[in-house]
């Protein structure tokens, strides 16, 4: 597969998952991103997926996962960690580039990295709903002593998380800012698989999930998903706060799909800015 898209051969893209992120990515590709083009999409709900794809300016086919991988050089996973377990081996064994949104599932998956190496594919992780990963990656070239992250969402933003269910946390009874979890990224990504992909991305960019720690808060009345990152190292210190407007899915900030669109734009671009 060519790594240098040309004007006569844009990179072909397939999107797996047509939720809050997948639909926006498809719409951006349909509107036009230089060097990349949408060729197929798939989702669990075929009727809704087909209806959405027909609404695009240039409709693309609803495909099975195997058909999508055959058609697309770049596969965008905008689904779930559980679905990624099926998507990743198939896409990487076919030599495809894989854009992973459910990046918590990448922790510990050295086998997927080896599979990509063996077949000439690459795994890309968008920065998602946070900022500063370029600084973290640069700082990690020298020693980093600590990486911490605090995440705050309205209680509904944590609904359904395994940790909330297992601990029997009554989110509806929370009346003030409440710490509902504290621990390393390794544990947090299992406890909140659909909520803290930003934490997984941070740990992959920096010192790893065992040394990246987090606090998770439920805050009644909060209208923006908020993440605070603090990094200390040989380079100095870095502090970032991002306040995301949620998408139609309260678990997902709009920056998640915007950063994915930006990554795809970079894949098709001649000039790329940032680490």
227 is catalytic: yes
**Residue that the structure tokens 């990152």 belong to:** 229
State the catalytic residue, choosing from 9, 83, 119, 227.
227
Separation of alpha carbons 136 and 131, rounded Å: 10
Q: Which tokens sit at 13?
A: 């893209």
Q: Which tokens sit at 54?
A: 């027909």
Question: Are the C-beta atoms of residues 230 and 200 closer than 8 Å to each other?
Answer: no
Sheet bearing 97-100, strands edge to edge:
36-42, 11-16, 74-77, 97-100, 123-124
Q: What are phi and psi of 38, to 5 degrees?
A: -80, 130
Pair type for strands 11-16 and 74-77: parallel
The alpha carbon of 1 is separated from its chain's Cα centroid by a whole number of angstroms, namely 24
Question: Are the C-beta atoms of residues 73 and 11 closer than 8 Å to each other?
Answer: yes
User: DSSP string of 98-162?
Assistant: EEES-GGGGTT-HHHHHHHHHHT--EE---TT---HHHHHHHTTS-EEEEEEEEEE-GGGGTT-H
Question: Are the C-beta atoms of residues 68 and 41 closer than 8 Å to each other?
Answer: yes
In eight-state DSSP terms, residue 6 is B
Separation of alpha carbons 181 and 187, rounded Å: 10
Whose CA is closest to 31, among 255, 249, 265, 266?
A: 265
Catalogue the active-site residues. 227
């Amino acid at each position: 597969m060519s790594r240098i898209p040309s004007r006569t051969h844009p990179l072909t893209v397939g999107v797996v998952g047509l939720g809050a992120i997948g639909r926006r990515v498809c719409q951006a590709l349909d509107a036009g991103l230089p060097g990349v083009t949408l060729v197929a999409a798939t989702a669990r709900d075929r009727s809704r997926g087909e209806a959405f794809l027909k609404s695009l300016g240039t409709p693309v086919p609803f495909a099975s996962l195997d058909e999508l991988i055959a058609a697309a050089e770049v596969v965008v996973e905008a689904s779930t960690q559980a679905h990624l377990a099926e998507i990743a081996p198939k896409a990487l064994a076919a030599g495809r580039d894989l854009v992973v949104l459910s990046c918590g599932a990448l922790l510990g998956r050295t086998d997927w990295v080896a599979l990509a190496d063996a077949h000439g594919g690459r795994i890309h992780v968008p920065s998602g709903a946070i900022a500063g990963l370029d600084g973290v990656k640069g700082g990690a070239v020298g020693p980093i002593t600590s990486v911490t992250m605090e995440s705050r969402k309205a209680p509904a933003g944590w609904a359904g998380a395994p940790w909330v269910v297992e601990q029997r946390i009554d989110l509806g009874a929370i009346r003030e800012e409440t710490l509902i979890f504290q621990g390393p990224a390794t544990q947090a990504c299992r406890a909140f698989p659909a909520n803290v992909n930003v934490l997984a991305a941070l740990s992959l960019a920096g010192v790893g999930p065992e040394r990246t720690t987090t606090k998770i808060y439920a805050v009644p009345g909060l209208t923006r998903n908020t993440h605070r990152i603090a990094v200390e190292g040989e380079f100095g210190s870095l502090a970032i706060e991002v306040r995301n407007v949620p998408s139609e899915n309260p678990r997902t900030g709009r920056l998640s799909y915007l950063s994915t669109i930006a990554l795809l734009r970079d894949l098709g671009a001649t000039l790329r800015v940032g680490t």
